[in-house]
Amino acid sequence: MSLRIAIFFFFLLITGFLSAQQLTNSDYAVYIKQYKSIAVREMQLYKIPASITLAQGMIESGCGKSVLAVESKNHFGIKCQKDWTGEKYYYHDDEANECFRVYKDVEESYRDHSIFLSTRSRYASLFALPINDYKAWATGLKKAGYATNPDYANILIRLIEKNQLHLLDDTSIKQEEITQKSTGNETEILRKQESDKDKAFSEKEGRVIFRKNYKMPAASDFEYSYTSDEGRKVYENNGVPFIFVKKGDTWFSIAKEFSIFSHQVYKQNDLLESDIIVPGQMIYLEPKKKKNHEQRYMLKPGESMYSISQEKCIKLAKLLKYNKLNPGDEPKPGNEIKLAR
């Protein structure tokens, strides 16, 4: 990298943003289109307004064009700090050769930003704010010292309002209802009107993980195995170790605690990364089994094929196959369920 380029981006990192004159309307439009769904997913998992996350990413990374963003996929300027064990990128910021975190992709940068805000006490007060109050969040971030630029909160607010990013914070709007419209000065986020056909389809496609009246098993029902380095009890079911979710757990935090990959955690529990886990939920640390020695089970009120697959530690696909069911099929209470072939 030439000295001239280094000095230029050193100034950008100090001020914390690229000015509107240095970025085109197309830059904003492309960035919003590329990362808005990630920002919404992070909001669903970590309760940080999607508008705030997306605007911060646009500002801190110069819509993905800053040297730090290009070289390290770091879109939020997060420095290494003592707890970082991943790859590092050294760059001149407030001091010479400061250490910044390197990510495998931008999505990982967004996830680390969520964890960064949600696990540090200096930002704790933000999570008491309404998720749709982007102005309060912007002001709170500045007060908590997220950025040194004195106008940081106003910059966030202006960017959100010009591009109507606040619509992304409306949890009643599905992602497929959100569209974009580029104008001469900004990119607007718009709500697409659903046709009756679209609405009928969308009402059918949601997954019900647990029924409302289903009571998750208690720890006393299972054999205690060991305690993790962080003091969490690990139990065993059908020969597979598992934990009970506690408040604040995420796929990333569980994976880190047990030295496995986050995708392993949700996949071996027949879930998606976008699924929300709740306290008391069973999460297996290794793949579930193909069958259970009990062979058969009587379905109780409130239970689902998914809840049985977790409680009996059987892969959901196998459980459905044994009972000649398709994904989404739910037998009525009192029906006998096969737990093995």
Pair 188, 281 in one domain: no
Domain endpoint, select from 179, 203, 227: 203
Domain-located, residue 213: no
- Could you say which of 203, 233, 260 is where a domain stops? 203
pLDDT of residue 187: 52
| Backbone torsion region of residue 214, taken as left when φ is above 0, otherwise alpha when ψ lies between -120 and 50, otherwise beta | beta
Does a structural domain hold residue 10?
A: yes
Which residue range(s) make up the domain with 30?
Answer: 3-203
CA distances from 242 to 118, 210, 266, 281, 282 (A): 25, 18, 12, 10, 7
- Is residue 11 included in any domain, yes or no? yes
pLDDT of residue 279: 86
pLDDT score of 82 more than 50: yes
Domain count, the chain: 2
pLDDT digits (tens, 9 = 90+) for 87-123: 999 986 556 678 999 999 999 999 999 999 999 999 9
The pTM (predicted TM-score) of the whole model is: 0.51
> Residues 180, 147: one domain?
yes
Three-state SS string over 27-59 comes to HHHHHHHHHHHHHHHHHHHHCCCHHHHHHHHHH
